[in-house]
Amino acid sequence: MKKIQHYVQGQWTEGKDEGAPIYDAITGEVISNVAIEGLDVPEILQYGRTKGGEELRKMTFQERGNMLKKLALYLTKRKNEFYDLSYRTGATKVDSWIDIEGGFGNLFANASLRKLFPNQPYHVEGDPIDLSRGGRFMAHHIMVPKKGVAVHINAFNFPVWGMLEKCAVNWMAGVPAVVLPAPSSSYLAEAVARAIIESGILPEGALQIINGTVRNILDTVESQDVVTFTGSAATGRLLKAHPRIIQEAVPFTMEADSLNASILGEDAVPGTPEFDLFVKEVRKEMTVKAGQKCTAIRRIIVPENLVEDVQIALGKALDKVTIGDPRLKEVRMGSLISKQQVEAVRNSVKDIAKEAEIVYGNLDKIETIGADAKKGAFISPILLRTDNPFENTAVHEREAFGPVSTIMPYKTIDEAVKLAQMGKGSLVSSIATFDDKIAKEYVVNAASHHGRILVLNRESAKESTGHGSPLPYLVHGGPGRAGGGEEMGGMRGIKHYLQRTAIQGSPTTITEITGIYQQNAKYKEAEQHPFKYHWEDIEPGMSLKTHKRTITDTDIINFANVTWDHFYAHTDITSLDGSIFEKRTAHGYFIISAAAGLFVYPNKGPVAANYGLDSIRFLRPLYHNDTIYVRLTCKEKVDRDVASAEHPSGIVKWHVEVFDANFENRPDSQKSDKDSPLVAVATILTMVQKKQETFVEINRQSIEGYLNKLSEDTKPLWGNMTPQHMIEHLEYSTRISSGEIQDIEIGTPEKILEKVHNTLYNYNKMPRNFGAPERLEEELKTLSYESLDEAKQKLLEAYDRFETYFKEHPEETQKNIVFGHLNRYEWNLFHRKHYNHHFEQFGLI
């Protein structure tokens, strides 16, 4: 029998012992064994800390995010091969979609969070803190990756999601992971881990996986490690109390039993959309993944006058749930993970049924489609009812981890809150109501006991992700019985793997450490106007002091007339008595506009566009005849992704300080300790292009120079072309660009044409050994010219005609087989990439 393998210390291996059998949840057959004997756990953890951790910590948040995105795309292309394995866990296609593609979605979502972090390996958190009256001593907070390993002990129900929801977060933080999937579904986790390792996208050591129960995994954890656990509260409490966890103060996050409650609002009576939505949601949460979800609805809390209606409606809804082989389209619910789990659920139901009545389903009878109920781990949906939920407390204390839920009544919304709280903490609660006052009363009073609360009504239903769907951007966790931990949550989740450290020093020192310009730091005088620099060459602190401008009465009046801002301080000087203004006052937005006029560089350059205004503050009034100058200083740089038809660029945040140039000339008698020449500050954003250093520029002269290096004997570094084939191929594409050849069809499908077209603007090289278009295949079969020299001459002539054509027809476009219709600028971009590709192919570049 094949053993499930582990990936540790850079290689796939298997345990030395015979191991324990793993069963197909549908057929009951043994499909593999799990063995862990012989694994050196301390060395595995240390390998992650060093080999994987060192590489991840060097990467910036942008690099880590792009790594996750690339990995998500890679796995998504291979998703179908994981579904067959997922069916063997008893999951339907919908269940598998949640697990597999939901897991990949976690990678995508966390990858997008890179935009919220700086383009450096560590994070700068919050606002700066001034610790001195003179502004020369300050503090800030940075967050750096922990120098440990994330140990993830996962449950059986979501082997893909459970692994990737956690790993995506620690990888974004720069911390490697050791994953321990539950044995019963570890074969699916192994398959996904194998694909991840084969991709080569992650640094070696960033992921190790041990597919089995390792009882000594916590014996050698260290203070820089982080442990997460998903499973039963009893097991979680044992692990959390491990002496090593306590001794080393290791962060421990637990997601455990959760008796989640869903409440039907008093207004949601039969016939309302909310009633129907409630029944549909409860049925879904009972049967998706056969109820094996930590977020499933376990307690159904409804107005006492609607208990019968809900019971009948749910019974009808559950009657439509077909059970059996999840591969069959007509099957809506598969099996539990194992027969042992079936027995555990049966025992839990029997305990709850001592104080409640089973009103739907049968523990001893089940009908299945396409599967043998006796061989597989099947169980019927079970609906219970208790009419005295304040006295019969088993339903608030015992979780049946399967398709089981209990109806109970409430008299007032206050009672509903108390019943929900009797679960002693849950991951999620929900309420179906169209009355926002009821929603507010429940949410505000119940929030202390739940990690997430969903309000479901007719307005949100179409786009709602549902009661049971954790989202990467939101906290996933809950207080009390649910474990008291938090997973995911956007930036919050990533910060769990970072060490927060307060740093103190001068503004100049803190600027250098954080990579963000701090107020009162020394300026770095720019050698030329900052707007002349590309994104890579700009650095925080780079600064420009502008010339001066005097504000006149006419400026203020004209600005009022243009903007229609006729606030009295600007237009009615007879109304200034009792105000903070002494004379006609310049508009705040005129001051910022005038400041822009002083610091903006007028010529075309790397600054592509004004990207926005982050903040603005007016510190004191400016009057007519006051003179200002501006300090423009780079505050921070933020990388950005570009997918549209624009060149690669980043965002530069500029610190704009507007000064009163007359301040120094005022008599000391007119100044106070609080006076400052600074009258306004703002943070503006510009989109700044990155340098193009990938390609040599292509023109007639450069082409001729490279052609002189090419001879008949020149061999290609890749591909099957001869020198003459390559030249004739370039000549053909150049003739297309000048309109000589247009009897061609665009081969790229319309749905992706814009995306492909936009790649002309990036600085990525054309891929080597790319599958040749049909036309190129034809070109390789024959040659059009007698010699290489003739082909070279024809290419130069074709390029000349291309340039002439667009000088005479500057607004025209011509078809390209791959990229669609291109204008003059875009044809130049194409030729630059295309000529560089083939000149490099023959070693000319």
Residue 779's pLDDT is: 58
pLDDT at 257: 81
> Residue 345 is inside which H or E element, if any?
helix 339-352
Tokens describing residue 572: 């009615």
Is 439 in contact with 433 (CB distance < 8 Å)? yes
Contacts of 613 (CB under 8 A, 6+ apart): 682, 683, 684, 685
In tens, the pLDDT along 147-175 reads: 999 999 999 899 999 999 999 999 999 99
Q: What pLDDT does 200 receive?
A: 95
In tens, the pLDDT along 79-105 reads: 999 999 999 999 999 999 999 999 999
Global model pTM greater than 0.75: yes
**Cβ-proximal residues to 699 (8 Å cutoff; 6+ apart), any chain:** none
Q: What integer is the mean pLDDT of 592-597? A: 95
Q: What's the pLDDT at 772? A: 53
Helix 824-841 and helix 788-808: axis angle, to 10°?
A: 160
Distance CA 513, CA 121 (A): 12
For the residues 642-669, what does the mean pLDDT come to?
86
pLDDT value of position 422: 96
How many beta carbons lie within 10 A of that of residue 458, not counting itself?
13
Q: Are 748 and 672 in contact (CB under 8 A)?
A: no
Place of tokens 């309302």: 272
Query: Which residues are 559's β-sheet partners?
Result: none
Asked if 6 and 13 touch (Cβ cutoff 8 Å), the reply is: yes
Between the CA of residue 344 and those of 234, 292, 299, 377, 379, what are the distances in Å?
A: 14, 12, 19, 11, 11
What is the enclosing helix (H) or strand (E) of 808?
A: helix 788-808
Mean pLDDT over 425-440 rounds to 96
pLDDT bucket at 673, cuts 50 / 70 / 90? very low
Answer positive or negative: Cα dihedral of 295, 296, 299, 304. Answer: positive
The catalytically annotated residue of 190, 294, 399, 779 is: 294
Tokens of 312: 């009948």
* Whole-number pLDDT of residue 775: 55
Model pLDDT for residues 280-310, shown as the tens digit of each residue = 999 999 999 999 999 999 999 999 999 999 9
pLDDT band of residue 643 (cuts 50, 70, 90) is confident
Largest CA distance in the chain: 99
Q: So what's the pLDDT on residue 777?
A: 61
The average pLDDT across 169-190 equals 96
Catalytic residue, candidates 14, 101, 190, 255:
255
Task: Note the pLDDT tens digit of each residue in 555-574.
Answer: 999 999 999 999 999 998 88
Please give the mean pLDDT across all residues of the chain: 93
Q: What pLDDT is stored for residue 811 in this prediction?
A: 94
Poorest-pLDDT segment among 446-460, 475-489, 662-676: 662-676
Q: How confident is the model at residue 487 (pLDDT cuts 50, 70, 90)?
A: confident
Question: Is the pLDDT reported for residue 668 higher than 70?
Answer: no
Is 294 noted as a catalytic residue in this protein?
yes
DSSP-assigned beta bridge partners for residue 6: 13
